[in-house]
Amino acid sequence: MTNFDITILGSNSAIFNHGRHPTAQVVNINNACFLVDCGEGTQERLHENKVKWFKIDHIFISHLHGDHYFGLIGLITTFNLLKRTAKLTIFGPKELKENN
């Protein structure tokens, strides 16, 4: 039996809306966590939702609107500060790599 759940960390667009956050979702399949998009505040939302950060080995960025990836650099920096050594694979539009 497959264990599957989704935690919605944020579902808002680029314009602030009270009680909603920039887009980010965690998909958990048999305890493997995949982060889909990484808007600003994703780290805080991961903490609030008790998502184990080090279980995230894959991040998918759907497109390059800021509300979908502005939290990525901060998250990667935090992984580095916490001395993460596990491989982190990031999927996204080719421009994500070209612009950074």
67 is catalytic: yes
Alpha carbon distance 28, 82 (integer Å): 22
d(CA 98, CA 40): 21
Catalytic residue among 5, 37, 57, 67: 67
CB 27 within 8 A of CB 34: yes
Distance from chain centroid for Cα 1: 26
Residue among 77, 33, 72 nearest 52 (CA): 33
* Spatial contact of 20 and 48, defined as CB atoms under 8 Å apart: no
Catalytic site positions: 67
